[in-house]
Chains A and B, each alone.
Chain A
């Protein structure tokens, strides 16, 4: 009884399979008939030459990561200049917008925090300290928001051409750097005007702060650009976070406020300081603002006593984050074509 059932079932399956094949063959015939004239016939003429390709047999989709991006600098340059041109296409003031917006924000912060709330009292060159922080925060938020959308915005290319896909978030970072560069020049000019005293500590702070900012920004750019392909929510999440990111680093108020907070709320203090951007901003202030003061010893309280070790630890953490993001990116990247 059971065996008979099975046999009957198998018979039915076989018929089904045969029917499917017949159906497919029929469709193939119909298609070929219909399309027989879709492409013209061009006969081969001439003589066949042999082509000697010296290259090795390789994987057509190597996992080169950001190293491969660095090798393709011509491509990177094209994409960056494209982004720059596109950002301000059909706008009258063009590139000026990237100065107007941070300029306005600077004016507002200066007015609210400096003039109204008087956080500048007891802080000489308050504007300079605010500006030093804002320039680099601007670089970071620009990188982060633009990079997060970069893969999605370039999906036409991602779907059709083989490129190391890290090229898009990296290009967003370079675009942000292009916009920030002139602001850094202005910052340096301001320092020179106010009077900047050379010290090795300042140079070291610059190097450490810059390395920290760069690794952290790259890590976040890679991670969120990939994440945004999987879940489009992240571009909104990122732009929401960047709205208040400026308030989470000590530039409108001084570090001593946070240190005072730490006396009662140790956990909140540690959480605040766990933000690599807080260290990066303070290192930049240590480089640009601090050396312009005349009686520096009086303002040592404006930085945490363990600024250097915290900076180094955060650099190490950011390097780990970068490795992690690159791995995540490489893993998710093979799914891009079906998720876009």
Chain B
């Protein structure tokens, strides 16, 4: 099998700027206030993903999951380290797709498709399928700023999944959809998984990750602290401390899974 994603000692710093205009900056400098502060959202992370692998990305909110996905899909560049990917990348990152609020659903569909590397013919060919999957029907020619967050996510997901990408990234965006749609999306993701697409799936739902992924990565405040099989990863997340009573917690997990399945 060939390598699909290689992340090598990647660090992403964010600089927090406290001031936006020249005037504010001048005032802050005069008063001796700090102008900016740096912190690492992703800290020295390395891993390799083979083509066709399905990877679950887990961790608390703010641990750097979305940032890592942005680095992989090229929206951001690492400050240190390198990332190499093979083939077309599509997906949904952070909250909502990259839509232009003033444009209609149809215009955004074409624009998004073009950005993801589709040609005009390719988009035309898949247009009906995408609209059908998104189920936005008569809202197609309404500006997306009038969409509900669910419709927004649906259209974004529908476009991304129909791109025929080699790497598919799914951040927590799906969480805003309704349950039948979530099911439909996950089924579609399982379908592209059979086609050998590399998948990144971010979710807090252990059972769902277990069904979708072959492997789990766990980020903790920017550090990659776990990389291994799903079950171990989920266990890692739940009983970080050895002195916890394993047995009682084991029972709890089974209960949870039972509720979910």
Contacts and interface: CB of A to CB of B under 8 A. Distances in A.
A233 B21 contact: yes
Interface in B103-135: 103, 107, 110-112, 114-116, 119-120
Interface residues of A, number: 62
A2 interface: no
Contacts of A32: 204-206, 234, 237-238, 256
A45 B190 contact: yes
A51 B3 contact: no
A42 B86 contact: no
A46 B194 contact: yes
Nearest to A55: B87
A40 interface: yes
A58 B194 contact: no
Contacts of B196: 48-51
B183 A53 contact: no
A35 B207 CA distance: 10
B51 to A, nearest CB: 6
15 contacts: A24-B60, A28-B238, A32-B205, A32-B234, A38-B175, A39-B175, A40-B208, A41-B186, A55-B86, A55-B87, A55-B166, A60-B85, A160-B93, A232-B21, A233-B22
Contact of A86 (B70, B74, B102): B102
Nearest to A76: B114
Interface in B12-56: 14-15, 17, 20-22, 51-52
Interface in B214-249: 220-221, 234, 237-241
A232 B221 CA distance: 32
B77 interface: yes
Contact of B74 (A46, A48, A61, A82): A61
B205 A36 contact: yes
A155 B86 CA distance: 27
B94 interface: yes
B240 to A, nearest CB: 3
A59 B82 CA distance: 8
Given A31-B60, A38-B204, A41-B260, 11 more contacts: A28-B240, A33-B256, A39-B186, A56-B86, A59-B74, A60-B84, A78-B111, A156-B99, A161-B116, A232-B20, A337-B75
A53 B86 contact: yes
Nearest to B6: A57
Contacts of A25: 237-241
